[in-house]
Amino acid sequence: MCAAPAARRTPALVRALLLLALALAALAAGVAAQRRPPLRARFAPLGDVALIPRLLDAAPLLDHRDSASLLSRILVPRVPGTAASQRVADALLAPFEASSKSGGLGWHIERLPFVAQTPHGKQSMTNLVVTKNPASPRRLTLAAHYDSKIMPKGFIGATDSAAPCAILVDTAMALDRALDAAERRWAKEGSGGDVTLQIVFFDGEEAYEQWTHTDSIYGSKDLAQNWTRSAHSPPHAPLVGAATLSTSRFSMLRPARHIDTIEHLVLLDLLGAKSPQIPSYFHPTAWLHDKVRSAQRRLLDAKAFWPPNESSRSGEDWFNGHSWGGIEDDHLPFLAGGVPVLHLIPSPFPRVWHTMGDDASALDYGTDYGWAMIMRLFVAEYLGLGPDLAATAQPSVRDAAEQARRAQEAQREEQIRAGAAIDVEPQGPRPRDEL
């Protein structure tokens, strides 16, 4: 007697299950549609690497021999919490602030203060985070530390890590207009562009006394901890491609931890001295290490690696070999959080490491210039900026000369046309020396 009601309910239950299955299938399809191809497949090599030096003159940022350059101005002791540290932070952020006022899409700039417990008591420190499009759901994060050792007194740390900081500023500024153009292109196409560029300057990397797990990397530990505990919530941003993708992605899935938005962390340290040797430290990012090595080789082949006045300098291979052991550095808290890391640090360390000799005399401008070209090319290919670079590159010396020649020809033709109009007027006999 009870079977009939159950039988009547069966069709309704089937319909409900069918609707649920269809909804889940639609959700899965939507998520799958937002997945980008594997990074290796979308890492598009740039056809004309000769464009890279023409994106921006590197000297005003990197030439330590010029007292007005950014690198020269930050070659000072930068102990956390000091007035000098504040001035260096201001100098590092000034190009990003100027870019944001120039009519482009700008940069999202964050000063993130925190207090660290050190062997010298509580110390105030500040991490600096600069993001091209904070609404983007993924980041390629480039990082270096901007502080210097407290001892020996007066320690500067040119390779450790003033030069890497200046190289990162150059990378961002050289690609700034191309990044803006790419965002607008992605918005128009309605696809791509869900990875943005982020720059992090860590404070408090150095130990106050002797390097230990507790007396070191204060800034990266604080930032990784905060980003592990917080969810990525895209702020209000212009309606460009990345913003739309971000809203779509996170409306269907659980909120992602902030740290999970980092697709790769590329950490630079102890760079700027001649002939560094950079092994691959982590198997999951060995292929990215190969990409960086390829970038150097192609730049050398195109004679676009060294500064123009050093173009005859011999080629070098900075990325040969592998390391079987890691180095304690700012990447460790992010590695523990599951972030893939490419660590660009030489092994062995520069001979001036942690000595008073790590000052301007330890730097080689050609090497810093080469690092800037490598990072520009690597990031441009990682983010797929190839279609946007040509329109933002400055003309080469050859192109400028050709443009000047054409302008002179046009001016000459105009003068000829003007002269032909005058020649219509009757003229007397020409002097004998003109016959």
Annotated catalytic residues are 205, 269
CA 247 to chain centroid, in Å, comes to 24
> Three-state DSSP class for 351?
coil
By DSSP bridging, strand 121-131 and strand 108-118 are: antiparallel
What's the rounded Cα separation, in Å, for the pair 10 and 115? Answer: 63
CA angle (232 as vertex; 164, 127 as ends), nearest 5: 30
Residue spans of beta strands (DSSP E) within 167-326: 195-202, 262-268
CA dist 281 → 127, 141, 160, 263, 300 (Å): 25, 18, 19, 18, 24
By DSSP bridging, strand 121-131 and strand 195-202 are: antiparallel
Q: Strands of 138-145's sheet, edge to edge? A: 108-118, 121-131, 195-202, 138-145, 262-268, 341-344
Pick from 283, 299, 274: which is nearest to 335 by CA? 283
By DSSP bridging, strand 138-145 and strand 262-268 are: parallel
Cβ neighbours of residue 388 closer than 8 Å, sequence gap 6 or more? 178, 179, 181, 182, 185
Alpha-carbon Rg for the chain, nearest whole angstrom, is 28
Token pair in block for residue 219: 């800034």
How buried is residue 432: exposed, middle or buried, by Cβ count under 10 Å (0-12/13-18/19+)? Answer: exposed
Q: Which strand (E) or helix (H) includes residue 57? A: none
What's the rounded Cα separation, in Å, for the pair 212 and 204? Answer: 13
